[in-house]
């Protein structure tokens, strides 16, 4: 099974993803590590990525998900996946045919208010994602309707337990 933990920068994807993976004894992967050095530098400078910037990143993530599923691996992937089209792409085959109904891929949306996320980003250090990009993150965000949604104002351990309960894990 692949669990994609999604949300805007600062929502806790990496924190929750790692805790969830550890609690399940699964692998953890962070989509940030799939970004090119050029993309990282743009984000560090507060420049939003374009669709052209994102496409190689999305293709690499799609290939990783496909590989994990073929290998029957259990992986928690922290990934912004802000648009519905990105989420659909991640769970489609490389030829574009969707396998979104595959029960082995689950989506968990970490939802938080702009104000809470802004506070978290201001307190965060050693991360390339600039607080300047928060507006573009929320502008780009298309909230998923057919997924498990978690309020990020809760303590991380509670969020992880609620995810496990919702997914019956």
- Residue range 62-113, pLDDT digits in tens: 999 999 999 999 999 999 999 999 999 998 754 445 544 567 899 999 999 9
- Per-chain mean pLDDT for the chain: 88
* CA distance linking residue 104 with residue 68, whole number of Å: 10
Q: Looking at residue 100, what is its pLDDT?
A: 46
Q: How many CB atoms lie within 10 A of CB 148?
A: 17
CA nearest neighbour of 9 among 141, 103, 98: 141
Strands 75-78 and 27-30: parallel
Tell me the CA distances in angstroms from 163 to 72, 107, 108, 167, one per residue in order.
21, 10, 8, 6
pLDDT 10s digits, 49-73: 889 999 999 999 999 999 999 999 9
Would you state the structure tokens that stand for residue 77, as one six-digit string?
A: 């992937």
In percent, the amount of the chain with pLDDT more than 70 equals 89
């Amino acid at each position: 099974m692949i669990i994609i933990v999604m949300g805007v920068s600062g929502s806790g994807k990496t924190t929750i993803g790692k805790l969830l993976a550890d609690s399940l004894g699964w692998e953890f992967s962070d989509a940030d590590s799939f970004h090119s050095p050029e993309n990282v530098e743009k984000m560090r400078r507060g420049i939003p990525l374009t669709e052209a910037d994102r496409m190689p990143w999305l293709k690499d993530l799609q290939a990783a998900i496909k590989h994990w599923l073929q290998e029957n691996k259990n992986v928690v992937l922290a990934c912004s996946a802000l648009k519905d089209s990105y989420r659909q792409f991640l769970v489609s085959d490389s030829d574009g045919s969707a396998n979104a109904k595959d029960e082995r891929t689950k989506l968990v949306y970490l939802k938080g208010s702009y104000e809470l996320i802004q506070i978290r980003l201001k307190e965060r250090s050693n991360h390339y994602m600039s607080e300047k990009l928060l507006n573009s993150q929320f502008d780009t965000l298309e909230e998923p309707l057919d997924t498990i949604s978690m309020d990020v104002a809760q303590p991380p351990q509670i969020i992880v337990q609620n995810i496990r309960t919702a997914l019956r894990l």
